[in-house]
């Protein structure tokens, strides 16, 4: 029991060094040729063991208010024991909601667990706006539990906040350590092969005062509220100002109502 406890404690220390400080040696290990990908539809997840695009969906359409699940996929790993990855996004257009290492109810198992292993405790934290840092590691010293190939290492949920151009999701600072990596000297591979993703959100239509990607009665009401001083002008997008007075008011309410009537 002492030996196993020591390994668990050692994993916690290593994971903390990677997760908090980003410590990584310069030399390459067995996962130097591994990769990492973002999958916007992991319901189909018959991934190749190597680095390919099979069943990796890198683009999806969405609208304001939609919640989007993103799978983080480790690719072409060898005896994976510990990992860290960062997912970068535009914090004014997306909000990070929550993250999980897997979803057993949906039959989705974390790659670290496919050989019967257990993990020390998955982390998915947004310490800095627009950056989610994920980390996890196997417990114990059984190398037979360290997985090979490709699979899901995290599930992250985001919510779309605004419409407009595409919203990118970008991987950064990805590190893998194999089951021998915690021995002296410490070997952690910095991964450079990434497959990023993008959420396609349509441009805001004319008359969309509240910028929720559609023109409806809520836009008319909001414009009238701003005109009456009930709602501050600063909370709406000035780009819908149709008369050039740099204000939202009666003309914008009438314009939204006209557009709405034409679509009925």
pLDDT in tens, 124-155: 999 999 999 999 999 988 889 999 999 999 99
| Confidence (pLDDT) at 83 | 96
3-state DSSP assignment of residue 255: helix
CA nearest to 52, candidates 149, 153, 165: 149
| Confidence (pLDDT) at 140 | 85
| Confidence (pLDDT) at 111 | 97
Any alpha helices (H) in the chain, and if so which ranges? 2-16, 217-227, 250-262
* DSSP conformational letter for 250: H
Query: For residue 162, is pLDDT > 50?
Result: yes
For residue 257, report the phi and psi dihedrals to the nearest 5 degrees.
-65, -40
**Dihedral, CA atoms, 108, 111, 117, 120, nearest 10 degrees?**
-90
Residues in the chain: 264
**Considering the chain, what is the average pLDDT of its residues?**
84
Task: List, in order of start, the domains of the chain with CATH numbers.
Answer: 2-200 (2.60.40.680), 217-262 (no CATH)
Average pLDDT over residues 172-195: 85
Q: Do 104 and 71 form a contact (C-beta atoms < 8 A)? A: no
pTM of this prediction exceeds 0.85: no
Q: Do 151 and 114 form a contact (C-beta atoms < 8 A)? A: yes
Q: Could you report the per-residue pLDDT of 39-93, keeping only the tens digit for each?
A: 999 999 999 999 999 999 999 999 888 999 999 999 999 999 999 999 999 999 9
Of 257 and 81, the structure prediction assigns the larger pLDDT to 81
Extract the runs of DSSP E, i.e. beta strands, from 186-242: 189-190, 193-195, 197-200
Query: For residue 6, is pLDDT > 60?
Result: no
3-state DSSP assignment of residue 21: helix
Q: Do 255 and 222 form a contact (C-beta atoms < 8 A)? A: no
| Confidence (pLDDT) at 26 | 45
Integer Cα distance of 197 and 222 in angstroms? 34
> ω before 158 within 30° of 0 (cis)?
no
């Amino acid at each position: 029991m002492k030996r196993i406890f020591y390994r668990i404690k050692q994993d916690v220390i290593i994971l903390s060094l990677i997760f908090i400080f980003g410590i990584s040696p310069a030399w390459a290990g067995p996962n130097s040729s591994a990769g990492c990908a973002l999958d916007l539809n992991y319901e189909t997840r018959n991934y190749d063991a190597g680095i390919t695009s099979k069943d990796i969906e890198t683009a999806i359409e969405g609208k304001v208010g939609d919640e989007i699940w993103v799978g983080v996929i480790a690719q072409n790993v060898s005896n994976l024991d510990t990992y860290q990855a960062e997912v970068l996004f535009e914090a004014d257009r997306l909000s990070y909601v929550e993250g999980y290492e897997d979803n057993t109810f949906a039959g989705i198992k974390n790659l670290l667990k496919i050989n019967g292993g257990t993990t020390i405790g998955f982390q998915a934290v947004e310490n800095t706006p627009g950056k989610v840092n994920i980390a996890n590691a196997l417990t114990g010293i059984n190398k037979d539990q360290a997985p090979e190939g490709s699979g899901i290492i995290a599930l992250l949920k985001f919510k779309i906040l605004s419409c407009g151009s595409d919203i990118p999701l970008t991987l950064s600072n990805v590190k893998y350590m194999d089951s021998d990596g915690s021995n002296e000297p410490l070997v952690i591979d910095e991964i450079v092969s990434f497959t990023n993703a993008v959420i396609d959100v349509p441009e805001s239509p004319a008359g969309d005062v509240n910028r929720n990607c559609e023109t409806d009665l809520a836009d008319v009401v909001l414009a009238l509220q701003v005109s009456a001083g009930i709602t501050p002008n600063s909370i709406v997008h000035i780009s819908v100002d149709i008369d050039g007075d740099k204000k939202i008011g009666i003309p914008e309410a009438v314009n939204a109502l006209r557009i709405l009537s034409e679509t009925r």
